Amino acid sequence: MVSVISFLFKNFYLLIIGATKFMFTTTTAKISGLNFYEAFSVTALGGILGYFFFYYLFDSVIHLYNIISNHYKNPNKPPKPQKNVPYKKRKKYVKWVRHYGYWGLIVFTPCFISIPLGAFLLRSYFPHKRGKDLIVCFSIVIWASIYTFALYFNEILYIL
């Protein structure tokens, strides 16, 4: 138990990289001199911890935003007409979520979009889906194993 805790303290920066920039964690772990199993565990653990941290952070931020915006609403003022999507970047994310949907967002969160952005989109568009946390964790572990295997055993891939 003590060796696990000391290992995590020594490689805390790898957990932070895994939580934010998931794709670069395995490369950084190999440069740091970690073996296959250590790199895989740091990559997967960093991604999972990052997902839960950002998901619940955005959960409380969105909740606080709703409380503040409801507090300052003027009840006598007529509501503004709804705009479809006002910003170009947000429009891109809405289009992406509508095109790929729930499963596409879960599968592509660790590899193509960052874990904080994926957690925010899952919290915004699919807040009441059951079992999404377990599926996202499974997706993170799968992508961590793919990245780690591809980096550490690339000679085998060249032979194939």
* Percentage of the chain exceeding pLDDT 70: 81
Q: What pLDDT score was predicted for residue 51? A: 93
Q: What is the rounded average pLDDT for all residues in the chain?
A: 82
Count of all residues that appear for the chain in the document = 160
The string of DSSP letters for 63-99 reads HHHHHHHHHT--TTSPPPPPPS--SHHHHHHHHHHHH
Q: What pLDDT score was predicted for residue 110? A: 82
Q: What stretches of the chain adopt beta strand conformation (E)?
A: none
pLDDT in tens, 87-134: 666 667 677 777 778 888 888 888 888 899 888 888 888 888 888 889
Q: What pLDDT score was predicted for residue 45? A: 92
Q: Which residue has the higher pLDDT, 52 or 7?
A: 52
Q: What pLDDT score was predicted for residue 104? A: 85
